[in-house]
Structures are given as structure tokens and as C-alpha cells.
């Protein structure tokens, strides 16, 4: 079941972020998430933009959404889109193809909100993640240097961003 996260989930969300960061650190040549601001996640929860996938009444996966992402998507931000950020999987549930489930949910969520695209980004040349996202239906648009990273989390500074999208127009 996919539903909005609540303020009661915030400690688990941050636990999953920490686990993801440790996992990223263990891999070579992968950009590592910084410690995220608690107020940012609290705001996402209040605005119903923080999500969770529940399995056996446990949080199996979390992510955030937004309908605008101008600093990362620059001129493409004029398109109507759902942008997905910070996907973190509970290690107790790895290997259950949550990204494919999330993609199907995101396509329906985008359509119900009259959006033409589902988009996400990752950082650096993470070839395994690029292959994983394209396998579940995203088109890899390439790697880009951002023009302005002021105010973005630290991991966006001084590294290229990989952009992905699913075009829902006409589908």
C-alpha cells in the first residue's frame, strides 16, 4: 500500500536515509547523500509530498515528490511533471522491485494530477543506477552540469546530474 508519510514516520524516514548513505559510502565512485534537514522533510510531510510504501505494516520504501524542480530541470521545468526525490528502501525488503511499483504509482499519480511527465534525477556516473532506472521505464536524458546549485542539498554541488523521465503524453 502506498500512502502519505506522517510526522510519526519521520524517525524511520531518517533511519532509511542514513542506511542509504552508508550503502552509498560502501560503493566506490557513487555520490553520497548528505544529512538532510529535518525541517525540509517535516515540510514535505505537512504538504503531503512525502510518501511511503507499506509492506506487512512496515515502511518498506520512502520518497518525496514535487510538481516543480526548476533548479535541477531548468528550462524543462516548464513542462507539467511529477518529480521524485530521495528514494530510500528499507534493507529488510530489498530485492522486491519497489522501483517498478513506485514507477507504476507515479504514472497514475501524475495522470491524476494532469501532469505529462514523471521525472527523477541522480548524481554522478552511477552506471548501475542508470541501467536500473531505464529498465523500469525511464528514458535517460544524459548528464548535465547545473547552472545554479544555491540552496540545493550539498550533494548537488560540483557533480553532474543525470536526468530521467517518462513521457505520459499520448499514453
Mean pLDDT by groups of 10 residues along the chain of 171 residues: 97 92 71 82 97 95 96 95 95 87 96 97 86 95 91 83 92 58
The phi, psi pair for 159, rounded to 5°, reads: -150, 145
* Nearest alpha carbon to residue 53 among 89, 18, 81, 107: 89
Distances (CA, A) of 12 to 16, 58, 88, 90: 6, 10, 11, 9
Structural domain span for residue 152: 2-167
- Position 94 scores a pLDDT of 82
- CATH number of the domain residue 141 falls in: 3.40.630.30
- Position 74 scores a pLDDT of 94
Q: Is 54 strand, coil or helix?
A: strand
Alpha helices in the chain (DSSP H): 10-26, 38-46, 70-73, 98-112, 127-135
Q: What is the rounded distance in angstroms from the CA atom of residue 147 to the CA atom of residue 164?
A: 18
Number of domains in the chain: 1
The model's pTM: 0.91
- Position 21 scores a pLDDT of 82
Amino acid at each position: 500500500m502506498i500512502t502519505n508519510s506522517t510526522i510519526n514516520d519521520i524517525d524511520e524516514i531518517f533511519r532509511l536515509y542514513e542506511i542509504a548513505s552508508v550503502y552509498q559510502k560502501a560503493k566506490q565512485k557513487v555520490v553520497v547523500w548528505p544529512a538532510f534537514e529535518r525541517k525540509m522533510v517535516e515540510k514535505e510531510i505537512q504538504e503531503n509530498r512525502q510518501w511511503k510504501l507499506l509492506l506487512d505494516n512496515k515502511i518498506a520504501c520512502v520518497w518525496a515528490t514535487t510538481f516543480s524542480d526548476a533548479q535541477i530541470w531548468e528550462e524543462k521545468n516548464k513542462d507539467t511533471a511529477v518529480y521524485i526525490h530521495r528514494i530510500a528502501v528499507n534493507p529488510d525488503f530489498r530485492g522486491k522491485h519497489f522501483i517498478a511499483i513506485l514507477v507504476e504509482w507515479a504514472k497514475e499519480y501524475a495522470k491524476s494530477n494532469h501532469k505529462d511527465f514523471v521525472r527523477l534525477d541522480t548524481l554522478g556516473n552511477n552506471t548501475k543506477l542508470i541501467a536500473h532506472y531505464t529498465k523500469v521505464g525511464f528514458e535517460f536524458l544524459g548528464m548535465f552540469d547545473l547552472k545554479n546549485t544555491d540552496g540545493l542539498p550539498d550533494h548537488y554541488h560540483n557533480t553532474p546530474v543525470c536526468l530521467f523521465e517518462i513521457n505520459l503524453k499520448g499514453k
